[in-house]
Structure 1
Amino acid sequence: MATLSTEIVGEGTPVVALHGFGPDRRLMAGMLEPVFAGTEGYRRIYLDLPGCGSSAAREIRSTPDVLAAVEQALADTVGDEPYLLVGESYGGYLAAELARQRRSRCGRSPWCAPSWSRCTPTARCRSTP
């Protein structure tokens, strides 16, 4: 299992931020920290997805592998707490799937320009008509 590099800022309700394919966690921190400036009660968790920033991509071969790595990072940083997800592009795609799988624990989840067609990470994708 890939270990994801993580940066945690603040204390309180966990807000897990997932960047798109290519950049690293600094993209999401740059977007969200101004939003949270002067606001208390939120623990922002910025992850580097596999192969991005400081996270290695060793055994990652597919989106389900990426999801498994993110799920492990969630277990390590959030545990059983309810949390919020924020995703940008591919991170929005991952956030949508995580929210679908964990409806009881995942609160509202804004997605910035999420990328997906009618598919789930484990299903065969079909193009949108």
Structure 2
Amino acid sequence: MKPIASVELGKPDGPPVVFAHGWGRTHADFLPVAELIAGHARCILVDLPGFGATPRPDDAWDTHEYAHFMRETLAEITGDQPYIWIGHSFGARVGLRLAAQTHSPISHLVAVAGAGVKLPRPLWQQLRGQWRSAQFKRKKAQAQDEAAIIALEKIYGSADYIHSREIGMRDIFLRTVAEDQTNDVGRIIAPTHLIYGGKDTATPPAEGRVLHAKIPQSIYIECPAFDHLSVLTRGRHQIANVIKDILTEARP
């Protein structure tokens, strides 16, 4: 695996704060937040493997491999200094996995629109999902060429599922979305903030409430006016204020 692409701003000798973006995104998503705290910390914004300027892994990684890679990579960047992890969506999935490791290097976790747990679904939703899946498989088996398969995916698949083919990450996408960290996040000992947009349908607030119930030292924050992406833009001050509070509390 080649070195990770990253951008740094802020105080080179400040406490390290790592920013990890969501699926199909890049470090640029967190620039508005990082700029707000740059006077207080060393901000390290990464392109996770397979996104932005960082090449994809050679194999089909799940979040275990992503967390292992990020732990080794960041040890080289920070010199084994503990860091605050700010993750959005997929970046939060990886952060949850890394924070649950033994002797985790994460001193504080901020999961923004964090994914990683499975929510119970009403029976009608389960049946509808099974019916759509069966329809997709049947029509896919009858498709004459790849163009027909891609057309079917646009009808039956989610936006991220469709995009995963376009960026050559379908195998990794399927592995990571199939995971359920519900029984693992209880091992997280780092103080954790969970920030969710009330209008988020990609990772709804219900996921944050499940994580809040499972993670011992967690605080749940819901921002009613924001959705999955606007929580990073219009909601940047909320995230920045949480980070500033963490940095203030961490001062000797």
RMSD between aligned residues: 2.6
Give the equivalent residue in structure 2 for 1:15: 17
Higher helix share: 2
CA distance in 1, matches of 2:102, 2:36: 25
Moved over 4 A (4+): none
The aligned length equals 122
Q: Tell me, which stretches of 5 or more residues in structure 1 are unaligned? A: none
Q: Alignment identity in percent?
A: 26
Q: 1:66 to 1:73 in 2, by over 3 A?
A: same
- Structure 1 residue 27 and structure 2 residue 29: aligned? yes
Give the CA deviation at 1:34: 4.1
Report the more deviating stretch, 72-81 or 107-116. 72-81
CA–CA distance in 1 between the matches of 2:181 and 2:35? 37
Work out the CA distance in 1 between the residues paired with 2:76 and 2:23. 22
> AA paired with 1:26?
A
How many Å separate the matches in 2 of 1:87 and 1:47?
10
Which amino acid in structure 2 is aligned with residue 9 of structure 1?
Answer: L
Distance 1:103 1:58, change over 3 A: closer
Secondary structure of residue in 2 paired with 1:101? coil
Pick closer, same or farther for the CA change 1:13–1:5 going to 2, 3 Å. Answer: same
Cα 1:126/1:3, change in 2 over 3 Å? closer
Look at both structures and tell me which one has the larger radius of gyration over its CA atoms. Answer: 2
Q: Distance in 2 between matches of 1:114 and 1:15?
A: 17
Letter of the 1:62 counterpart: W
RCO (CA 8 Å, sep 6+): is it higher in 1 or 2? 1
Normalised by the length of structure 2, the TM-score is 0.43
Letter in 2 for 1:43: R
Q: 1:44 to 1:116 in 2, by over 3 A?
A: same
Q: Which residue of structure 2 aligns with residue 86 of structure 1?
A: 86
**What TM-score comes out, normalization by structure 1 length?**
0.80
Distance 1:68 1:76 in 2: 13
How many angstroms does 1:104 deviate by?
5.6
Q: In the TM superposition, what is the alpha-carbon distance from 1:102 to its structure 2 partner?
A: 5.3
Between the aligned partners of 1:126 and 1:97, the Cα distance in structure 2 is 8
Alpha carbons of structure 1 residues 100 and 15: separation in structure 2 relative to 1, 3 Å: same
